[in-house]
Structure 1
Amino acid sequence: MSWQWIKSLVYVVQVYIAMGVLGIVFLPWAALSPRGARAACQTYAGYALWSARWMLGLRHEVRGDVPTDEVLIAAKHQSFLDILIIFYYAPVAKFIMKRELLWTPVIGLYAWRLGCVPVDRGKRGAAIAKMIEDVEKGRAQPGQLIIYSQGTRVKPGVRAPYKVGTAVLYEQLGQPCVPAATNAGVLWPRKGILRKPGLAVVEFLPRIEPGMARGAFMAHLEREVEAHSDKLMREAGFEPGE
């Protein structure tokens, strides 16, 4: 058992305790106002990133232009760390999320108050239709809608298909799409306790303006996100082809 693993265990325990404490402390404000929910989640994300730096030597960096207007962010998803980074820096972030999370105590309330969009997974066609409906209902609350185009966390080096839901949203919303690459999973794996020291990066790539044909859009999105994610993973000492 390594010293880094022990430190990682302590980090994981205390960061979950912090989640519970902040969730309860901010709950009355969050129940009354979306501003309270966002303040709570911003505070938690900032604390998790800060404590990872001094406890684990796990630093983070954001590259590219952080979108502040109403856009669709199509992000690479490797671990909980990339969620924390994007949420902390995007000013009004809201996520496409699994519908089951709405029924999770406290977390469901926060997700609802943040304006996150729940979808049913498993029935893709129905999920996409419901996704569009929910996004349309939420457009009065401007912000950055975040979708993980591969539908789930993907282990570094593993190739997984990009799902058409991103293109459908891009067409329906008529907003720019900002691709986002990351290497977060190299340092903070999707499973297990160990968190590694190093520099985790989320890179916001040049936006794709509305109007691109669906096939061309999906090909461009996948090519850009995968190429830049591979480059970032190599910076972190991981060779994607291995």
Structure 2
Amino acid sequence: MTWLRSALFNLLFLGGTALGCLAALPLLLAPRRWFLAYLRAYAGVVLWLLRVVCGIRVRVTGEANLAAARQPGGGALVAAKHQSAFDTVIWLRLLPDAVYVLKQELLRLPVWGRLARHSGMIAVDRSAGAPALRAMVQAARTAVAEGRQVVIFPEGTRTAPGAPPAYQPGVAALAGALGVPVIPVATDSGCFWPRRGFRKRPGTITVAVLPPLPGGLPRAEFMRRLQAAIETESDRLRASVVGNPVENFVE
């Protein structure tokens, strides 16, 4: 049954995303706030499909830690664990005006890349070294000045639950340059929507929003505390899933 439900979800998610991108093209001529509302609606539909088709619910803990970011004009830097495509959807619902840091290759995708540019997503050329880092910081400064919330995945790519982390320096560069709260986020999304996995497992994805890190930390100390906060909580969430297979992996 899980395989059938997963196949249906994948068909609806991939097909719906493709059709949704085409339907959104006229919004390139409209104010950006219209496109933002469209993205929020799209994310809501994806979460609804997860619940109805796959039996996957979403639980968010520590939402109070997003209070400042949700204020009008509240810029913030969200440093989130990235285990699944789910993580690229959820922040469109949790934040009022999220902008993602993403790899430049994604902007080359037909239609989707054009929409991503229009929405102000921050693309990084990972092969360009220091100039790419400076361009990322400048784009993030512009976004924060506009009251947007920058979402970065510190490892730069999806990692399977329990895999050794490899945090990249980009998050430290943003933290030092933006002067806004840095909000760590842990998750167990990869236990239910696996990285590059076909099968979606019923259960409850937890998004754990952790207390913001204090500003002005030395870079090494910031990276140590960020990784410790995210990985410790992500490991705890994964352990609770493994220890409760009846609830989370029922066929």
Fold similarity call, TM over 0.5: yes
Identify if the C-alpha distance between structure 1 residues 112 and 197 changes in structure 2 by more than 3 Å, giving closer, same or farther: same
Counterpart of 1:58 in structure 2 is 56
Offset, 1:98 = 1.1
Residues 74-223 of structure 1 aligned to structure 2 (within 5 Å): 74-223=79-228
| Alpha carbons 2:54, 2:200 under 8 Å: kept | yes
| Alpha carbons 1:115, 1:141 under 8 Å: kept | no
Counterpart of 1:9 in structure 2 is 7
Q: 2:27 aligns with which of 26, 29, 36?
A: 29
More deviation in 25-34 or 108-117?
25-34
Return the alpha-carbon distance in structure 1 between the equivalents of residues 150 and 87 of structure 2: 15
Cα distance per residue 1:98-155 (max 9 Å; x no partner) = 1122222221222122221111013443321221122234444221101110111011
Offset, 1:25 = 2.5
Cα distance per residue 1:186-205 (max 9 Å; x no partner) = 11001121000000011110
Normalising to structure 2: TM-score of the pair? 0.89
Letter aligned with residue 109 of structure 1: R
Letter aligned with residue 183 of structure 1: D
Offset, 1:12 = 0.5
Sequence identity (%): 33
Return the alpha-carbon distance in structure 2 between the equivalents of residues 43 and 183 of structure 1: 24
Letter aligned with residue 83 of structure 2: Q
More deviation in 95-104 or 225-234?
95-104
Cα distance per residue 1:48-68 (max 9 Å; x no partner) = 111111111111111112331
Identify if the C-alpha distance between structure 1 residues 30 and 43 changes in structure 2 by more than 3 Å, giving closer, same or farther: farther
Which structure 2 segments of 5+ residues have no match? 245-251
> 2:4 is paired with a residue of what secondary structure?
helix
Question: RMSD value over aligned CA atoms?
Answer: 1.7
| Alpha carbons 1:82, 1:202 under 8 Å: kept | no
Return the alpha-carbon distance in structure 1 between the equivalents of residues 237 and 9 of structure 2: 24
Return the alpha-carbon distance in structure 2 between the equivalents of residues 181 and 137 of structure 1: 26
More deviation in 119-128 or 152-161?
119-128
Return the alpha-carbon distance in structure 2 between the equivalents of residues 188 and 30 of structure 1: 31
Offset, 1:238 = 6.5
Normalising to structure 1: TM-score of the pair? 0.92
